[in-house]
């Protein structure tokens, strides 16, 4: 199978504090890959490094056969990688429609267009409405994003990532702060919307992870403990000791 | 909605007719005042393009006003053969190029850092204008003659005739402001808004923060320089006061008093400022003090500026909705 993303021996330390030490992983075309691990394991740092927010201290990242190590964020995004954030990160004073439209304008590569009027752009409007439709945000289409419910804002966060129509989509705890019911709905939505796309997801809810993911990588103390199918991970002794057992006892 | 459209149309037509008739109605001294209002309206709009729409607050915006003023001044003073519109274009272009150069250093920064480094560049250009006497004549200033405007059918139009200057300024300013208005409605104008709202998120949507801000900065500088060139044409004189910190603060105070959350706010602010300043300075020499108090009152008690007075429910139909 074709490799979409490859991390080779990636290190990251913040002025002495080592957060990632030698992560090597491969993401294949069309797979749903979950990243799990206890708090502070380096999951979010890993996301931030892949998406270009941080530069790795050592190691290389390849995306679609290009070495994207050290590339600026927008260039990596343009190549087809889009991500969501653990803490909702949207354009609060713009409406839901305008939020989604911002992403669509970028996807159609019109950020620097100063010849046409944005309101008159039928293509952009149609595509924005399609994304809003997909996420069932029609009711709140013209509501400022800041006055959406928390669940609504999480949905919009997802909409922004999806509106770019990326090759690889990375979701950082898309269900953080949602209740059981909302989590279930959100996961159904994610499953449906990422059909045929490559997905990397950070998630704490083990039930969700084992249902959704094709493969799982377990991080602990900045190292990759194991990678494998949900079954392999559940049976892995080391993972059980480091992580899963702790969750079970907590539950 | 269509009711609102009709009202807006009626208001615009009334305004245009009024602006065209003003020189016939008012004596010369007021026409001078109107011309000054137009010029500063354009300057304030350029300021607000940067502050209100892109979220960058410059403390040294007079740098570009001054560059436009000096470019036009030097051309008027030394190169008499260049047609008037060409001079304005060259002044605007000089502002644009200065904007690119200064912007490269400024736009990566934000908040107070951006404000202060833009001030630093303005002080540098001020010093240049002050000390490079061979070119700028320093604090003696440089007098100019208003050139004639050559038009294809109408022939030569003298700018010494105040009503001609009025119409000329009106047309150039209206073009500048209208272009800016349309510019903000393009995808690039929308990108400026994204920079103000959440540039971090925008970069994860594929927006190039640096380039977007640099372009907006340079366009803003272009409009400011155009206003500066008109100012020289109007004053028939260019001196360091058009590039000093007072000028930077004037445009800032105008825009904020008028209201930066609406496209029309700075235009209202410039109008109010010039009229009020004219009136109050005829009463007292301490008019700066009064202006300062007014500025504080607006900041404390009228967050949206004077324009927000018109945005109360019963007026809302004609000012339009606030910039979000």
Please list the pLDDT of chain A residue by residue as tens digits (251 residues): 789 999 999 999 988 888 898 899 999 999 999 999 888 888 999 999 999 999 999 999 999 999 999 999 999 999 999 999 999 999 999 999 999 999 999 999 998 989 899 989 999 999 999 999 999 899 999 999 999 999 899 999 999 999 999 999 999 998 888 888 888 888 888 988 888 889 999 988 888 888 889 999 999 888 888 899 988 888 888 877 777 666 666 65
For chain A, the 3-state helix, strand and coil shares in percent, each to the nearest 5, are 40, 25, 35
Q: Do the beta carbons of residue B305 and residue B265 sit within 8 Å?
A: yes
Element spanning A35, H or E: strand A32-36
pTM: 0.91
Flag whether B321 is in a domain: no
Residue B117's domain spans which residues?
27-245
Question: Would you state the structure tokens that stand for residue B98, as one six-digit string?
Answer: 């200065």
Task: Using DSSP, state whether A162 is helix, strand or coil.
Answer: helix
Flag whether B170 is in a domain: yes
Flag whether B269 is in a domain: no
Flag whether B304 is in a domain: no
CB nearest B186 (choices: A102, A103, A117): A117
CB nearest B203 (choices: A73, A117, A119): A73
The burial of B167, by beta-carbon neighbours within 10 Å (0-12 exposed, 13-18 middle, 19 or more buried), is given as: middle
Start-end of H helices in A25-72: 43-50
**Farthest CA pair distance, chain A:** 61
Q: Which chain B residues are Cβ-neighbours of A83 within 8 angstroms?
A: 204
Q: Do the beta carbons of residue A189 and residue A158 sit within 8 Å?
A: yes
Q: Looking at the complex, does the CB of residue A136 fall below 8 Å from at least one CB of chain B? A: no
Flag whether B268 is in a domain: no
Q: What is the pLDDT along chain B (324 residues), one digit of tens a residue?
A: 578 888 889 999 999 999 998 888 888 889 999 999 999 999 999 999 999 999 999 999 999 999 999 999 999 988 888 889 999 999 999 999 999 999 999 999 988 999 999 999 999 999 999 998 888 888 888 888 888 888 888 888 888 888 889 999 999 999 999 999 999 999 999 999 999 999 999 999 999 999 999 999 999 999 999 999 999 999 988 888 889 999 999 999 999 999 998 999 999 999 999 999 999 988 888 888 998 999 999 999 888 888 888 876 545 544 445 443
Flag whether B316 is in a domain: no
Place of tokens 């057992």: A245
DSSP bridge partners of A21: A11
Q: Do the beta carbons of residue B95 and residue B67 sit within 8 Å?
A: yes
Q: Looking at the complex, does the CB of residue A122 fall below 8 Å from at least one CB of chain B? A: no
HSE-up of A74 (CA within 13 Å, CB side)? 17
Flag whether B136 is in a domain: yes
Total number of domains constituting chain B: 1
Start-end of H helices in B79-208: 84-106, 111-131, 133-136, 162-183, 187-204
Q: Sign of torsion, CA B270 B272 B275 B277?
A: negative
Flag whether B299 is in a domain: no
Place of tokens 């046409």: A116
The pLDDT score that the predictor gives to residue B312 is 66
The pLDDT score that the predictor gives to residue A247 is 66
CB nearest B324 (choices: A78, A116, A144): A144
HSE-up of A198 (CA within 13 Å, CB side)? 18
Q: Do B188 and A113 touch (CB under 8 A)?
A: yes
């Amino acid at each position: 199978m074709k490799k979409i993303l490859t991390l080779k021996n990636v290190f990251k330390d913040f002025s002495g504090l080592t957060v990632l030490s030698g992560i090597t992983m491969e993401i294949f075309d069309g797979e749903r890959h979950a990243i799990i691990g206890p708090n502070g394991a380096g999951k979010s740092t890993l996301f931030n490094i892949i998406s270009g927010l941080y530069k790795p201290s050592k190691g290389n990242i390849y995306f679609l056969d290009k070495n994207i190590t050290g590339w600026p964020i927008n260039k990596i995004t343009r190549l087809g990688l889009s991500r969501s954030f653990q803490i909702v990160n949207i354009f609060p004073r713009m409406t839901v429609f305008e939020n989604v439209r911002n992403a669509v304008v970028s996807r159609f590569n019109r950020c620097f267009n100063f010849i046409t009027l944005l309101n008159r752009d039928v293509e952009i409007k149609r595509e924005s409405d399609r994304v809003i439709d997909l996420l069932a945000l029609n009711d709140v289409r013209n509501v400022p994003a800041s006055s959406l419910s928390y669940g609504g804002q999480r949905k919009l966060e997802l909409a922004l990532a999806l509106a770019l129509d990326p090759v690889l989509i990375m979701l950082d705890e898309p269900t953080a702060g949602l209740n059981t019911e909302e989590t279930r709905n959100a996961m159904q939505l994610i499953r449906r919307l990422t059909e045929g796309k490559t997905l990397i997801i950070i998630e704490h809810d083990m039930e969700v992870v084992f249902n959704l993911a094709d493969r799982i990588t377990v991080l602990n103390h900045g190292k990759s403990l194991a990678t494998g199918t949900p079954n392999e991970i559940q049976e892995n002794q080391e993972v059980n000791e480091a992580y899963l057992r702790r969750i079970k006892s907590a539950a | 909605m269509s009711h609102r459209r009709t009202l807006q149309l009626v208001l615009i037509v009334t305004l245009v007719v009024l602006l065209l008739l003003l020189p016939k109605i008012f004596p010369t001294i007021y026409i001078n005042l109107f011309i000054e209002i137009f010029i500063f309206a354009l300057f304030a709009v350029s300021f607000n393009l940067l502050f209100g729409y892109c979220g960058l607050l410059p403390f040294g915006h007079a740098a570009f006003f001054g560059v436009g003023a000096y470019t036009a001044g030097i051309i008027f003073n030394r190169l008499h053969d260049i047609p008037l519109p060409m001079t304005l274009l060259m002044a605007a272009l000089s502002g644009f190029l200065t904007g690119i150069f200064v912007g490269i250093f400024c736009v990566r920064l934000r908040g107070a850092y951006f404000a202060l480094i833009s001030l630093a560049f303005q002080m540098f250009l001020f010093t240049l204008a002050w000390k490079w006497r061979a070119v700028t004549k320093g604090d003696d200033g440089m007098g100019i003659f208003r050139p004639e405007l050559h038009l294809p059918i109408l022939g030569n139009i003298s700018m010494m005739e105040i009503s001609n200057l009025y119409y000329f300024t009106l047309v150039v300013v209206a073009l500048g402001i209208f272009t800016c208005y349309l510019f903000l409605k393009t995808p690039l104008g929308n990108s400026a808004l994204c920079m103000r709202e959440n540039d971090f998120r925008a970069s994860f949507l594929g927006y190039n923060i640096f380039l977007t801000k640099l372009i907006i900065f340079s366009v803003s500088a272009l409009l400011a320089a155009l206003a500066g060139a008109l100012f020289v044409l109007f004053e028939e004189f260019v001196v360091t006061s058009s590039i000093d910190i007072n000028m930077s603060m004037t445009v800032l105070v105008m825009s904020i008093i008028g209201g930066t959350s609406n496209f029309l706010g700075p235009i209202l602010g410039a109008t109010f400022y010039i009229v009020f300043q004219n009136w109050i300075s005829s009463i007292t020499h301490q008019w700066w003090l009064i202006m300062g108090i007014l500025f504080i009152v607006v900041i404390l008690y009228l967050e949206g500026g004077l324009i927000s007075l018109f945005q109360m429910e019963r007026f809302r139909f004609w000012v339009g909705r606030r910039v979000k």
